[in-house]
Chains A and B, each alone.
Chain A
Amino acid sequence: MNLAIVPVILPLATGAACAALGSERLRRLVSLGGALGTLGAAAGLVWRVRDGVVVLRAGGWPAPYGIAFAVDGLGALMCGISSYVAAVTLWFGLRETTPRYDRYWHAGWHLLLGGMNGAFLTGDLFNLYVFFEILLIASYFLLTLGTSREQAREAFTYVALNLVASTLFLVAVGLLYAATGTVNMADLARRLPTAPPVLVRSGVVLLATAFGLKAAIFPLYFWLPHAYAIPPGSVAAYFGGMLTKVGVYALYRLFTTIAPLSGPDPFWLVVASCTMVFGVLGALAQEEIRRILSFHIVSQIGYMILGLTLGTRTGLAAGIFYVLHHIGVKTALLLVSGTVERTWGTGRLSALSGIGRGQPALGVLFLFPALSLAGIPPLSGFWGKVALLVAGADAYAKRPDLWIPLALGTSILVSLLTLASMMKIFTQAFWGPAPRRRRAGGELLFPTAAMVALTILWGLGGQGLWELTWSAAGQLLERGRYVEAVLGGSK
């Protein structure tokens, strides 16, 4: 049995089952089982792709006629981390569901995971659209679960914007189909160079806008902080960790496999830099933990785009490393913020004090990912940053474009501001007198610790992850092999 379908169909089926099951015990059992099974399958897939692209031809029809899953290192790694994040946040969220919404909540969790994994694994542009829609509608669904009127309004903004992005996506599919007569990514990669440039370039612009909106790059990031302020902590962590990264993944796929960028160009370097700067400035202007963290998501996306823009193998590997690191760190931080909100009833800095004094474990669980986010060694964020700097220096040596050092300098400056903003949270909420006796329970701390462990593991033993991202970057650059693996002999 081809492993590639399991991380998609298993969560979808689990989601459907959770919606139908009336017994809460049974539902939770199925839910956790499904999450672990998906994680296992995803891990197996990561293991499998080291030998090359894994192709699954749905229905047995060869690509480009049928839909093919084409799993390379990038897709498998994304699938792996999303399954991990889903499992951990699910664990955390078991405390947050209410009987009224429990079945919906579990269903939404798995359906979202299935949609994301499908997006990571599919090798077909239109099928990517379909999986995008699954994950989006699942995200609308989770976002609005049990919301108040005002929150529903915020959610509507998120939904409407994403629908516009989806429409752009569809139109782009139309343009590219008119240009090439295909929607298979490998086939597109093969045919685009000789297709009418006006259609191709328009299509790429639309796709970049659509993906960029989902990835929350500058100047399309505005929706994110409001949207992520709506749902309960577990959902915010799930979203904050994974959702924008689907957009980042799509940008990586677009600009490597389908229509590769020709080396670092000023436009994308400026977009990356502005994403970093505007995100971090937004964070500095906030006074609530979750909002601060939400803006940092934006800021960090800039680093990922920087890696993509550099386009070298080191750059891509660093970018992918950064994506994976960031997912772990950001999920962990949002879980901490969820824990704080749940335990102390608010995330406003002015209303919090001395959490670390009262409960040092929670302070530690915040401090590690916070420092990692700012790129402080020896945590994973540091290696991501160093790898990006090294890649940038290499790229500059090859092509002395002044925008490169400017973007790198920005990235360094932004990590300082990131530290300032993280330490603002730490000194205000975690330091100071601890007047209140309340403590967060272990059932919230353990899942958080499982997430924090990633950044420590990937910090001290980052080389292990680097080898995976390095090989993934290699696969992205060897487009011929990808095309060959997917299309085989078909013309």
Chain B
Amino acid sequence: MENALAWIPLLPVLGGLVAFAATRRAAGWVSLLVSVSVLASLGTLVPPVAGGRAVQVSLAWFPGVGVRYALRADGLGLLFSLLVAGVGVLIALYAMTYMAHDRRTPAFFGFLLLFMGAMLGVVLADDLVVLYVFWELTSLTSFLLIGFHHEEAEARQAALRALLVTVVGGLGLLGGIVLLGAAGGSLQLSELERHVDRIRASALYPWILGLVFLGAFTKSAQIPFHFWLPGAMVAPTPVSAYLHSATMVKAGVFLLLRLAPLLGGAEVWRVWLEPVGIVTYLFASLLALFQEDLKALLAYGTVASLGLATALVGSGSPEGVLAVMAFLLAHGAYKGTLFLVAGAVEHETGTRRLSELRGLARTMPLTAGAATLAVLSLLGLPGFAGFVAKGAVEKALHGWAHEAMLVGGALTAAYGLRFLGVFWGSGERRGGHDAPGLLLPAAVLAAAGPVLGLYPALYEQALALLHPAVNVSSELTLGKVAVPVGSALLGGVLARWAGRSSASLALPSGEVIFDRVYAGVLNLAGLLTRLTVTGRLRDYLAVSLVIPVTGAGAVILSEGRFLAVPVRMAPYEGVVLLLGLGAVAFTVLARSLVAQVVAVGAVGYTVALLYIGLRAPDLALTQILVETVTLVLFLAVVLHLRHPEEPDRHPAWALDLFIALGVGALTAAFAALILPGPPARHLFSYFVHKAPEAGGRNLVNLIVVDFRGLDTLGEITVLGIAALGVLALASRPGTRVAHHLVVPVRSLIFETAVRVVSPAVAAYALVLLLTGHYGPGGGFVAGLMTAMALFAWAMAFGFEALPQDWLRPLAAGLGIAYGTGTLAAALGRPFLTHSPILLGPVKSTTSLLFDFGVYVLVVAASLSAARTLLLVRPR
């Protein structure tokens, strides 16, 4: 039995997936079959529940946040699920005829079944998160069904509005659930019910209450969230009858009933629910009276009924709970019937406009009969379910709510009678006939009214599920006959008047407010986005730099202490620094791009000189070579530019200056702060100690290729990708490769010089490569020197003297370096571990091989980049 319970919400969901894939006819049968089997399974749960034992199942789902797939069929849940499944069977039957000619019938039944599963999940959930999961699924399926005819803009809009409104509430509910979990220490209702006092005493209680109310009010379309429900009437009628009258919209009321044992009873409960419910009740029944559209009339009527139900829950008493259930059952039957009838009328006559529909009783007598039965129940006349319900309602409401109910009763009667005018009013409109497929479900539902009315024992048995201990029949003593009769008579008068008058209520509709709010949010969004995402690099840079400058600046100003560190430098280094400052100034101030490029080269060379002064010969060597190649590349680009001049400064240049000065000041402060260096050189002695093991004396080179070889591996990868990028940028349609720079350099002296110098430089580079472990040098430096030698060669003898395809050497260089590292790993040693090798007479390690990879890559990358930038031209 527990297993059956676990499967009850899932079965329709799976059935829905089957329906999607089924044919048009089969989908309907799947739907019917699933609904009937769900109803049957629910039937098996009735005896234990009637015996006072709730059936429960609890499986681990997401224990990480305390969520279990926990379901509980108690009286309340079972009663609602019987309503859901029972009406579901009839709707499936009805829709098989109603939707017979739609191309997308399978999708329709698929969504319908998904909804049924979700709704069953809501009413059977014991875990609140599970309840929420199904709750949102009902919103979602409702969205998909309202938008079923999404070719029409109206359907799309209504669907979106309904979704957003219900999801507002859903998210509120989620918040409430999380808080409830925090306050009560569990997410399972059955567990929480043991900690009621703790919850009510919690500081979170008012928040929980407010958020839960938000969820309930939006779902049950209470004012001011009511507008989505009439809008939802663009859905196919079976959907309106099922979701938007009989079941889903009642989820809000259900939620209140479900949580009443935890949260209810307090005065605040009554203070909120009664006014909201009653106002909704009166307001919506008044609006219903003035509708022109058959379904809109019913929709407002539904809103009104939900208002009444909400008010009843607010009364908080056990009679209130019974009255709600009595009322909802009766309502489900008669309102469901009326929707099905409305659908049948539209199906047969092609219109839903009240003014065009009169006297249909002649052509659709049986449908008229069903409608009449339903309206009689709605009026609450004796002998109908509505009478019993009305009696219970009357007993449960007190004070002003009671008076308001009498007024509302008359309005309700009025719109009910207006509806009947479609059949019994005198008029010309004819057409249609009783369609059996549409009539049967309506008739069954309509019959529920008199059956329950005449045999209240059935009613009592159903309601007894709620409180097995309480003697229900004493609570359901019949109400006064005078009330319903009186309101029916008054309603008749009102209905005649409303039918004749052309008065329409011009009230601010929620839709308009919703749309305005939505448009307002969009406007704000557009404004903020235009202000922040300007598309200008300068603005972005300004923000990105102001943050660290202010952040770190504040840190330094508050606690920075500058130590005077004696920097031992030769005087010439002071000169170098001054030169550097001058070069920087020139870079900024020079007006021509070429001059700026030369100046930045000068800055690079002074930095190299500074490296010498700071005892970093490897850096100096590298810097000089890199600077030279960079300068060539820079000049290549600058000389090729067709439009070197462009507007340079933003009008707000003072801000730029301010930021630049700030960045300069901050970094200068950083530089001053770090002059003392680290408190201890932990790593230094290790490097010294292990240098022999790594096979060399030049610590920098040892670190680069061995201790931190992985950095170098990454660095050459960057270089390789950069070279690839340069190639790719130039490799596009509409380019050609020139064979020479601007003009071929034809000079005997130059050629002779190159013939002598280039091979010498290349050879020296090889020496640097081999001895990098012992003195300044290494693969990178050697590679750059070789590249420059080859470049000079190309200048003299044309680039066709060099290989044209540099992709393979690039890849080869990377491959050698990667391979050296991986070789060690393949031999079972850590990645990039170097092993000793003998290279002829030279004892070395595989680090040399690694460095060779670097060398190859650097040669290839530099030459391919230079060649591309210098020689590839637009055609």
Contacts and interface: CB of A to CB of B under 8 A. Distances in A.
Interface of A: 1-2, 5, 9, 12-13, 16-17, 19-20, 56-61, 64-67, 100-101, 103-104, 107-108, 111, 114-115, 118, 122, 126-127, 130-131, 133-134, 137-138, 140-141, 144-146, 156-157, 160-161, 164-165, 168, 171, 174-175, 177-182, 187, 195, 197-199, 201-202, 205-206, 209, 213, 219-220, 222-223, 225-226, 278, 281-285, 295, 314, 317, 354, 357, 360, 371, 376-378, 382-383, 385-387, 389-390, 393-394, 397, 408-409, 412-413, 415-417, 419-420, 423-424, 427-428, 431-433, 462-463, 466-467, 470, 491
B199 interface: no
B525 A285 contact: yes
A175 B159 contact: no
Interface in B530-550: 530, 532-535, 537, 539-541, 543-545, 547-548
B725 interface: yes
Contacts of A385: 174
B538 to A, nearest CB: 10
B133 A164 contact: no
Nearest to B679: A181
B868 to A, nearest CB: 13
B175 A412 contact: yes
Contact of B151 (A386, A413, A433): A433
B686 interface: yes
A417 B561 contact: no
A64 B682 contact: yes
Contact of A470 (B64, B175, B818): B64
Contact of B543 (A130, A171, A219): A219
Given A5-B831, A390-B178, A419-B164, A161 B537 contact: yes
List of 4 A-B pairs having minimum Cβ-Cβ separation, nearest first = A181-B678, A20-B811, A178-B674, A130-B714
Contact of A134 (B676, B714, B807): B714
A284 B537 contact: no
A16 B857 CA distance: 11
20 contacts: A13-B815, A20-B807, A59-B707, A60-B824, A107-B724, A131-B714, A141-B725, A181-B682, A198-B559, A222-B532, A278-B528, A278-B532, A295-B529, A360-B107, A376-B136, A377-B132, A390-B182, A393-B182, A420-B164, A463-B64
B717 interface: yes
A9 B821 CA distance: 9
A390 B177 CA distance: 10
B714 A205 contact: no
Interface string B732-745: 11000000000000
A183 B676 CA distance: 17
Contact of A285 (B163, B529, B545): B529
**Which interface residue of B136, B548, B808, B826 has the most chain A CB atoms within 10 A?**
B548
Contacts of A182: 678, 682-683
B62 A1 contact: no
B792 to A, nearest CB: 27
A206 B810 CA distance: 35
Nearest to B857: A16
A202 B556 contact: yes
B728 A141 contact: yes
Given A64-B682, A145-B728, A181-B679, A387 B711 contact: no
Given A1-B825, A66-B708, A146-B732, A195 B830 contact: no
- Bin the interface of chain B by size: 35 or more
Nearest to B63: A463
Contact of A16 (B172, B526, B673, B811): B811
Given A57-B830, A165-B544, A412 B164 contact: no
Nearest to B144: A367
A140 B729 CA distance: 11
A264 B706 CA distance: 42
Given A1-B828, A177-B678, A181-B679, A387 B717 contact: no
A12 B681 CA distance: 34
Contact of A175 (B529, B670, B676): B670
Contacts of B533: 222, 225-226, 282
A199 B674 contact: yes
A23 to B, nearest CB: 13
Secondary structure class of chain A's binding surface, majority of residues:
helix
Given A181-B680, A284-B522, A393-B179, A198 B560 contact: yes
Contacts of A20: 807-808, 810-812, 815
A30 B709 CA distance: 26
Q: SS class of chain B's interface: helix, strand, loop or mixed?
A: helix
Contacts of A377: 132-133, 136-137
Contacts of A390: 65-66, 178, 181-182
A278 B545 CA distance: 20
B512 interface: no
B60 interface: yes
Nearest to B709: A59
Contacts of B561: 198
Given A103-B807, A175-B670, A201-B555, A9 B831 contact: yes
Interface in B803-818: 807-808, 810-812, 814-815, 818
A114 B717 contact: yes
B697 interface: no
B150 interface: yes
Of A115, A137, A141, A285, most B-chain CB atoms within 10 Å: A285
Given A1-B825, A205-B555, A108 B724 contact: yes
Contact of B810 (A19, A65, A199, A409): A19
A157 B540 contact: yes
Contact of A431 (B150, B167, B706, B821): B150
Given A209-B547, A222-B540, A278-B528, A133 B831 contact: no
Contacts of A65: 683, 686-687, 690, 707
Given A127-B710, A386-B65, 6 more contacts: A111-B721, A134-B721, A164-B541, A202-B552, A281-B528, A431-B147
A371 B140 contact: yes
A424 B140 CA distance: 15
A178 B673 contact: yes
A57 B534 CA distance: 46
Contacts of B150: 357, 427, 431-432
B677 interface: yes
Contact of A427 (B65, B159, B541, B677): B159
Contacts of B537: 156-157, 160-161
A16 B544 contact: no
B710 A416 contact: no
Contact of B714 (A118, A165, A285, A467): A118
Chain A CB within 10 Å, residue with most, of B151, B556, B710, B810:
B710
Contacts of B530: 285
Given A104-B724, A389-B178, A181 B681 contact: yes
A443 to B, nearest CB: 23
A390 B153 CA distance: 39
A274 to B, nearest CB: 10
A68 B522 CA distance: 50
Contacts of A64: 682-683
Contacts of A415: 171
A157 B543 CA distance: 14
Nearest to A279: B529
B65 A137 contact: no
A339 B678 CA distance: 54
Interface centre among A131, A201, A385, A419 (most CB of B within 10 A): A419
Given A168-B548, A175-B670, A198-B559, A58 B709 contact: yes
B168 to A, nearest CB: 6
Contacts of B172: 412
